[in-house]
Structure 1
Amino acid sequence: MIFYNQVYQYTDKEEKNRIRVIEIDSDVTYFVELHGVTSMPKRATTMDLEAEIQSDILLHIPDPFAKSYSDKDLTEKQIQKRDEDWGIVSEGWDNLKGDLLNKKIRDRAFDKLAYQYNTSKIKVKRVFTRFWQRGLNKNAILSDYMYSGGKGRERNLINAAKVGRPRKYMPLSTGINITEEIKKQFKYVIKKYYRKKEQPSLTDTYYYLLREFYADKYYEYNVLKYNVWDASRIPTYDQFYYWFKKFEDPQTDIKLRHSSKEFELKHRPLLSNSTLETDGPGTRFQIDATIADVYLVSSFDRSLIIGRPIVYGVIDVYSRMITGIYVGLEGPSWLGAMMALDNMVMNKVEFCNKYDIPIKESEWPANHLPEIIIADRGEFEGYSVENLINNLNVKIENTSPYRGDLKGIIERYFRTMNGKIKRMAPGAIQKEYRERGDDDYRHDATLNLIEFTTIIIRLVIEHNKKIIDKYPLETEMIADRLKANPINLWYWGIENKKGRLQTVTNQSILRLNLLPKGNAIVTREGIKFKGLSYGSERAINEQWYLKFRKKSIEIVYDPRNMNQLYIPHTDGYNFDTCYLLDTSEQFKGSFFEEIQFFQELREELKKEETINQIENIINADAEIEAIINEAVAEKKSTVPINLSKSEKIKNIRVNRQAEKIMNRNNEQFDLIDKVNEQPTQVVEFTSKTLKSEVLTKKSNSRLMEKLKKKRDEEFEKGN
């Protein structure tokens, strides 16, 4: 409810946010803003203001000008000036209130008062502003002497009396009573300042409370400053802390100060476990990747450091058995995940033999597909996931971003693995940030990729035989005196539970469904994919290049070897192979990234040359224009103006023949080398030679004369 002479503060405005109610007239409320040297009344409907109060947009706050002055504490000059100004205010507010509240005729009331009291209009406005802003009482119009005294200037205090507030003992203030309005202020600052990503402390939030609601604003050298009220008029920190704990919402605070992911990852209640979501081995596999905390060296030269390897792991949720791994340099990406899934269905005895680790099949019996794979969204969104789902009957569950806890079992295994590597392997990362003077652990890198893979296999075999602490054993397991290691749990689950294990008889079929997909275009030049040309026996036999030109077909490819593409059949078990044509022979044996690099480089070179090409065209055009302009000018100066159109095109054939004869003299070949500065030789011509030369010259001369004569005759006929 709105009250007369009450002070309120808007919570949705940074500046000009405090108002004082100066009049309530039926359904209309008049108020002034508590800022500015002059602040005139504004009007709003009482219903609108009450609605803003109900929605906590407008909060009631203590009166910032509620101060008690005694005349004995004022100087005679202050009292005299106050009484003079009060005469103006009382006359206007008692007799001209309606005019002063009406914006259209307010200036007339100010003019009348200024004339009546022989003062300026601006002074009348300022006096009324202080009256309205500071409490609608006589002492409200006192001038701001508290800001006088030359603040910021050094005083000469030699032989001067003591300045400033006299020292005296004051009892500790107990603060103010916490009303419902003050509780709203507490809630407001907690929401606005405390629950932010910047994570301000509770003490900082308390200071924001004082700044927002319990301080006066003023400017010192154009810098905004705050003057906090006396301790008897503000809530204490202990009061604020007490009510903060009352209002505390840990879930909301964590989500807003950190993130929802942070809450779900580290603070949500743990009332279940992953094992309860399974019904035997193969129900759910979890797959994830980590960058191992160790630096490796090249397999060809141990002096070359190749960085940290990627380790992918696939684990059965029910038994905790590692069912697939990949150690390499691919990823974290679909390629790395693809390699781990390929290893998942591989016979592990054969796999371990490649690394000279002899095992029995019972030590690592996993070579199956599961019913469900839980994976990261980034790696298993798109690519060949649809093929896994549709062709191999494997469901994919993608976790939310940054929710590693949803794959907690494989994450925990990675932590254990990395911890052991850090303790044993040279070149392991000992701490995240090295300080000045610390040894660079990268210099200690010793293991190559093959050796590191062998270590990971050893750790997997050890894990599969290790007792799992806190495994939720069923009563039947306890009755069977089961030792809860992954191998025992795997075999017990197969025998006593349903499970969902699927056997893959042909690993190539799995690989066909794992490889990335793409779209190729059938053209006359072959099947085009990523700028490369491929050919297919099926395409030739079925005349694709004639029947299906510009048709898009779905293919799968291995980015590590672009020599072949594969066109899968709809059954998901058969395919046609496309081979690289001679026109793209230069990219044979290249990785997909290498081909992309060369193609991008080619485009960059073309773009770099674009400016030069444009310059060449512009310069050539300019030279051509110059030649044309010169020819036009010469034609104008040499060709008679009075020639008719028919005269211009007459005798074209004769003119052409004459021009041809002249050109032949210039174009004829002379195969005798001419040596500069040779001594002059006297050549004796026989009468026969001389006669031949004279006849040749005469012959040419007669031909030219005949051509000229014929041209002149044709010209005269035309006239």
Structure 2
Amino acid sequence: MDTLLRNDVFEGKDGCQYRVVSNTSSANHGWVINLSQPHAWPVEREFNVLRHHSEHRSHTTRETLPEFAFYSEKARARANAAYEAIKPLVLNDDGTENKALFCEKTRSALVRARAAELAISKTTIYKYLKDWWTLGQTRYVLIPASARNGKNQPAGTGSRGRRPDDDRYAVFQMSANDIKWAKEIIQKRYIGNEHASLVGVHSDLIAQRYSLLDGNGARINLPEGERPSIHQLRSVLKKYFTQEDVERGKHGDKNFERELNPMLGSSLEECVAPGHIYEIDATILDVFLVAQANRNSIIGKPTLYLIYDRKTRLCVGFYLGLENASWTGMMLAILSIAVDKQALCRKYNVPYDPADWPAHGVFPAKFLADRGEGASHNSDRICDGMEATISNTQALLPIRKGLVESGFKSVHTAIKDEAPGYEPPRDAVKRRSPKYHLDAALTLDEIVSIILGQIVRHNRSKMRRFPLAPENVLDGWAAIPRELWTREVSHGGGVGTRYTHEYLHKQLLPVDTAQVTQQGITFRGCFYKSLEPTVRQWMVQAAVKKGFAVRCSYDLRLVDELIVHDSNGKSYTCTLTADSKRFAGYSYAEVKYLLSRELDMKKAKAPESEQARADQRAQAKAVVDHAIAATKAARTGAARSARRADTAAARGAEQTTRRREEVTMPPTTNIEETKGKVVRLRPEGSAATPSAEIQMQSVSDATPTTGSSLQDLLRNLALEHTNESTAK
């Protein structure tokens, strides 16, 4: 059991709390005062008997030391005066503790003498002594607890209004109900309304609670002095509502935490090593771009993705494209971590140094993204294939990933003075702002080159306010992102994992289900083929039995290729079939739109098709009805069973008649030309057969028309064949 010393507080076996006032020569014996009784005085006791093996602890009730730092000089002076009043009683002339004061008989005499000497009440001396012993025996425990002793407090009038200078009305004293009504209307009308003013709220309060209806039904406010003033309402606001309550109520919790919340934390608190947390986010780059094929065409603003390592501030990846903020852009930004940096710098004419990219191919344990693409279903691909997690920040709180947000600001700062077509964000919604898009001159590749150069500069530059550890400062470390990464990894190791670009590309592509048919593998309106024997056998199987589903990976931006996967994990790349090549170069969203438009047009033409079908059926019915009627008329009383289906003579006669009708169709050229091309089978003047006369008569009487040479040749051959048959 610990030894009790002066001012220690302990729990007695009787349930009361005691404070040690003074120790005697024995470690287990001394003077104590009961803190649980209101009129207790020091008594001499055995500590072990009181404690009964209980542990001593610090006292936490009202008898604690006062927060004297919040008191005024006046209050401190009063405490010093009180201490000087009891100092001769608690201390001897040599500065030792006066044990006689603890005894009740001698204490009374000493107090009376001191009170007479100072000409004050002995009750005051007793109060000073009681506070001295119960609160901790320091001079600042003698500061009175009254609000009138000089303690620093907000200004107020105790619910009384300000006295007018001209005494035109009496001071209004607010009651408990008045304060209640004031609090209710402040909470409802002022704090809950972003644009409400306190003057307007005060007018509503007077109209609701401090007004009367006259004989005409008009509402009359009570005169001043019979209702709270605007100053009293403001005092209630300051007394019962904090500034945080007002700001949160007027602007919302999200806006308060984003704009006004105290910034006490650090982004390094959750990060343990390089490669632990990557922050990723997207923004619209404030630069208008032009088309590469035609610089006179403005294509708008691109979307920029940045990825930063939280521990070292190293920019490890980026993507700049024309896609809106989506999983596709986020996927390409993540892929840029493993892309060949040397080829990338060569493509965009940026000097390459391997030291600028120490995190090449290193993927983190956690991605920190917002609640957009970072919360999509496709983001599960990161968790499944890369063994990483995705943490989503709260909505409307960009400060939760402030590192990448600062990266956007530095990029815009670097390009705003040089890039033509840059539009300041403040001018985007300003009326009559300059037409910045007319200055656009950069293509997408050119702005990518500028952004890439800015990232390289950032990775090489020293950061001004980076909190280096003291030991790192003594070791000569510089707050340069690429050096911090290298040194941190060499000293403490990183927690990232390295993957190849090929693996990541297949892993991050969205996965869905395609259908195998005899015509190919169909996916989202497109058909695909492959020369792989496995895919061919799939199509044969679908033709023999029925179609079946397979897993596939695809790129939302382009329909030209589809990657299908078999049950063994092997992948096959498929291309568009001949019928689907009309969609080459399109995205899946564009194909979906085209197919929907095609379907809409088909639906729009459906009434015309139905009408054409109805007209055809009506025409066919008329022919059939006429044929049936004619057939019945031709029977001439014969039985129906007397008809025969294979009469050769009737068939031959019909064929001869049809041949004559087909041959004697109107010619497509002039009759003179036709005569010149006909080979006469009989000399002129000889008698012709009746059929030939009829034939020549019909040919010569035909109306001449124009036609193609192929049609003329066919007709001439038919005439020659007819003449030969007639001659025979």
TM-score category, normalised to shorter length: 0.5 to 0.7
1:672 to 656, 659, 664: 664
Aligned partner of 1:412 in structure 2 is 406
Structure 2 CA distance for partners of 1:541 and 1:608, relative to 1, 3 Å: closer
Match of 2:255 among 256, 262, 266: 262
Contact 1:296–1:308 (Cα < 8 Å) also in 2: yes
SS at match of 1:274: coil
The aligned length equals 501
Q: Superposition RMSD on alpha carbons, in Å? A: 4.2
Mapped to 1, the partners of 2:614 and 2:174 lie a distance apart of 82
Matched, 1:588 2:584: yes
Corresponding residue of 1:375: 369
Give the counterpart letter for 1:209 in structure 2: L
Deviation of the 1:628 alpha carbon = 11
Counterparts of 1:178-327 in structure 2 under 5 Å?
178-196=174-192, 198-216=194-212, 226-327=219-320
Amino acid at match of 1:565: L
Match of 1:482 among 457, 477, 482: 477
- Report how far residue 295 of structure 1 moved: 1.3
1:423–1:216 distance in 2 versus 1, CA, 3 Å: farther
Closer/same/farther in 2, CA of residues 175 and 416 from structure 1, 3 Å limit? farther
Q: Which runs of 5+ in 2 are unaligned?
A: 1-164, 672-684, 695-728
- Report the secondary structure of 1:518's partner residue: strand
The match for 1:500 among 495, 499, 504 is 495
The structure 2 residue matched to 1:441, chosen from 431, 436, 443, is: 436
Deviations 1:158-208 (A, max 9, x none): xxxxxxxxxxx9954456332222222223222332243653222222233
Aligned with residue 524 of structure 1, among 512, 518, 524: 518
User: How far apart in 2 are the matches of 1:503 and 1:363?
Assistant: 17
Letter in 2 for 1:446: A
CA contact (8 A) 2:525 2:592 kept: no
Deviation of 1:364 (Å): 2.7
SS at match of 2:580: helix
**Alpha-carbon distance change, 421 to 648 in structure 1, aligned in 2, over 3 angstroms:** farther
Which of 466, 472, 497 is the equivalent residue of 2:467?
472
CA distance in 2, matches of 1:673, 1:301: 59
User: Which residue, 322, 337, 348 being the options, matches 1:344?
Assistant: 337
Q: Judge which range, 315-324 or 526-535, deviates more.
A: 526-535
- 1:333 partner letter: S
Indicate the residue corresponding to 1:396 in structure 2: 390
Give the counterpart letter for 2:288 in structure 1: Y
SS in 1 for 2:278: strand
Any idea what the Cα deviations from partners look like across 1:568-623, whole Å, max 9, x if unmatched? 47898x52323323332322343323322321221221232244445556777899
Q: Give TM-score scaled by structure 1 length.
A: 0.61
- The residue type paired with residue 498 of structure 1 is G
Of residues 550, 564, 569, the one that matches 1:567 is 564
- When residues 192 and 570 of structure 1 are mapped into structure 2, their CA distance, relative to the original with a 3 A threshold, is farther
Match of 1:424 in 2: 418
1:509 aligned residue: 503
Q: Is the 8 A contact 1:198 1:257 kept in 2?
A: yes
1-structure distance, mates of 2:195, 2:214 = 28
Q: In the alignment, is residue 353 of structure 1 matched against residue 349 of structure 2?
A: no
| 1:365 correspondence with 2:361 | no
Q: Call closer, same or farther: CA 1:386–1:437 in 2, change over 3 Å.
A: closer
Amino acid at match of 2:575: Y
Superposed displacement of residue 230, structure 1: 3.2
Give 1:348's aligned amino acid: K
- The 8 Å contact of residues 323 and 366 in structure 1, kept in 2 or not, is answered as yes
Cα deviation 1:363-419 (Å, max 9, x = unaligned): 332211111111122112335422221222121112233221111001011112212
The separation in 2 between residues aligned to 1:672 and 1:625, in whole angstroms, is 29
Q: Distance in 2 between matches of 1:277 and 1:569?
A: 41
- Worse-superposed segment, 250-259 or 333-342: 250-259
The TM-score normalised by the length of structure 2 is 0.60
Determine what percentage of the aligned residue pairs are the same residue.
Answer: 26
Cα distance change of structure 1 residues 688 and 621 upon mapping to structure 2, 3 Å threshold: closer
Q: Deviations over 1:93-145 (max 9, x none)?
A: xxxxxxxxxxxxxxxxxxxxxxxxxxxxxxxxxxxxxxxxxxxxxxxxxxxxx
Contact 1:533 1:580 in 2 (8 A): yes
Deviation track 1:475-530 (CA, whole Å, cap 9, x = no partner) reads 221221211121221112102223212222x3111001111222212333332210
User: 1:689 Cα deviation (Å)?
Assistant: 5.6
* 3-state SS of paired residue (1:428): coil
Please tell me whether the aligned partners of residues 371 and 394 of structure 1 are also in contact (alpha carbons under 8 angstroms): yes
2: distance between equivalents of 1:570 and 1:405? 45
What is the alpha-carbon distance in structure 1 between the residues aligned to residue 573 and residue 306 of structure 2?
Answer: 31
Q: Distance between the aligned counterparts of 2:637 and 2:200, measured in 1?
A: 97
Structure 1 residues 444 and 610 mapped into 2: Cα distance closer, same or farther (>3 Å)? same
CA deviations 1:69-115 (Å, max 9, x no partner) are xxxxxxxxxxxxxxxxxxxxxxxxxxxxxxxxxxxxxxxxxxxxxxx
Contact 2:190 2:198 (8 Å CA) reproduced: yes
Q: What is the match of residue 6 of structure 1? A: none
Q: 1:521/1:228 Cα in 2 relative to 1: closer, same or farther (>3 Å)?
A: farther
TM-superposed CA distance for 1:648, in Å, is: 12
- The one-letter amino acid paired with 1:509 is Y
Match of 2:486 in 1: 491
Which SS does the other structure have where 1:468 is aligned?
coil
In the alignment, the residues of structure 1 paired with residue 381 and residue 215 of structure 2 have an alpha-carbon distance, to the nearest angstrom, of 70
- CA positional deviation for 1:274: 1.0
SS of equivalent to 1:472: coil
CA distance in 2, matches of 1:653, 1:218: 115
Look up the equivalent residue of 2:561 and give its one-letter code. Q
Question: Whole-Å Cα distance in 1 between the matches of residues 408 and 299 of structure 2?
Answer: 21
Cα distance between partner residues in 2 of 1:294 and 1:586: 34
Alpha-carbon shift at residue 451 of structure 1 (Å):
1.8
Deviation string 1:240-271 (CA, Å, 9 cap, x unpaired) is 11111222244454444323321232233322
